[in-house]
Structure formats: structure tokens, C-alpha cells
Amino acid sequence: MPFFTRTTDKPRALHYIESGTGHPVLLIHGFTNAGMAWMQQIAALTFAGYRAIVPDLYGHGLSDAATAVTTVDELAGDLIALLDHLGIERATVCGLSLGGMVALQLALDHPQRVDRLIVANSQASFAMPELGPIVDGWLALFAQPDGPLKPFQATWPAMLNAAFRDSVAGRAAYNSWCRLAQRTSGTSLSQVVRGMRSFDVRDRLGQIAQPTLVIAGGEDKLFAPAAVRAISDAIPDARFELIAEAAHLSSLDSPDAFNRLLLGALGECMDA
């Protein structure tokens, strides 16, 4: 179970999973999740001959709890340090939700480290006024004695489509993620969501030069397809794909469709 300690003025230990060999693909999970959310992609990438690098973001999973407000650019800096630690010069970067925000930050601030960009179910800004009530609601729930467990249980139906939730795999995932929520610090997640409030790269999207794929879920109740498509509309030559049956966690509830898009984008990268 590998850990990497980033030595900064605020040292932090980051847990990550590594699987396979070949071209590196960095998979970045969403808010309140962990690297295990990518299990179906890790298997697909490994069998297809790629090297999957899957961190638990700071404040999440088995990585250290966040003890101060943590911004998206700080999370991106952690991942550059992880790539340095692993001796990786360039990688394909794929992020979902918060992970998509981190992926955008990486492509903008460290373009020489990102050869292709895949952004799923995400936004180019979390500073929009209409998102304020969502953040305030999260902060209130995280402050309760059960911490992240209650908000996780409350939002699970909105995060995944009904077919997955009702499946054997969906019920197993729910139980596994409940255990994750029980051991996650609500204070830690509060520090991350406070940092997310300052994220806004809408005016910089035109600077992204990497080949980019943007994925939305037709049933996403958090980030509607039109809002996600705004990312691809602002990035030169970006491609937009809609997984009609997917909700917010499209990589989890619609893995076959998601993996086809992911592996297709990687194939284009290898042919370039």
C-alpha cells in the first residue's frame, strides 16, 4: 500500500495505487471519494497496456486529513510532486468532478506534464453564486457528529443512476463507500470544500492546448450536461461526449461507456 510524503511547509502523506506498465494515466477522483472510485478503469487500463496512477487526494481516503483550507491548485501541486516521485515526465490526466477541476489546473499550470486531458462531470468554476448553498449545506452536514456519512447517504441517489444503484455491484459499492465515509474526517473535507470555493479557470480555458475530451452524464443532477459542455466549448478543438444514461459518477455507474471513451482517447494519443 504505497504512500508518498510531499515535503513542503505543510508536509502531507498521500496514498496512491499503481497498476500496469506502459503509458502513464493519472486518474483523479471527485470530492468525498477516493482512488477506489476508479477500480473499473484501473482494470481496463491495466489490461489495455497502460500504467494507471490513482491517488487519494489530500484530505480524502487513506491520505492525510486536511488541517487547513486546501485549494485546487494545492491539490494539483501534490500530484505534480507525486509524478516527480514516480519519475514520470508526462501523463494523460483524467479527472471527474473535483478531479476534473484538478485536471484543468494541471493542464493550465503545468502544461509540459500533461499530454492529453480528459475531464468528466466537472465545472471550470466553483465560485459561482448558485453553488454557494451547496457548499454551505455540505459544511453544515460535515459538522454533525456522523460527519461525512449522512451527506454521503443523502446524496448517493443523486450521484448514480438507478440501474447501478439497484444492481449487486451498486449495493456492494454503497456498503464500501459507507465504510469510507465513516472513517473520513468531516473537518478534513470541510477544509477542501472551502478551498474549492476559490476555483475559477473559466477565463483561462482558451489557453489549453492539449487534446481534450470532455464527458457529461445525461442524468447528472449536480453538473448538468450544458454546464459541462461549456468547458469543451471554451477549449480549442476539444471534443464533447454525452453518456446519456450516466449520472454524476459516470465512471462508476456507466463503466463500459466511460471506458470506451477513455481508451479511445488514449488510442488517439498514442497515434499522434
Domains of the chain: 3-266 (3.40.50.1820)
Beta-bridge mates of residue 38:
none
Report H helices in the chain. 39-47, 72-86, 98-109, 132-142, 149-159, 162-165, 168-182, 186-196, 225-234, 250-253, 255-271
Instruction: Give the span between the Cα atoms of 162 and 25, in whole angstroms.
Output: 29
Residue 184: left (phi > 0), alpha (psi -120 to 50), or beta? beta
Q: For residue range 169-212, list pLDDT tens digits in order.
A: 999 989 988 888 888 888 899 999 999 999 999 999 999 999 99
In the chain, the amino acid numbered 233 is: D
Q: For residue range 114-123, list pLDDT tens digits in order.
A: 999 999 999 9
Can you give the pTM of this predicted structure? 0.95
Instruction: Give the span between the Cα atoms of 183 and 204, in whole angstroms.
Output: 37
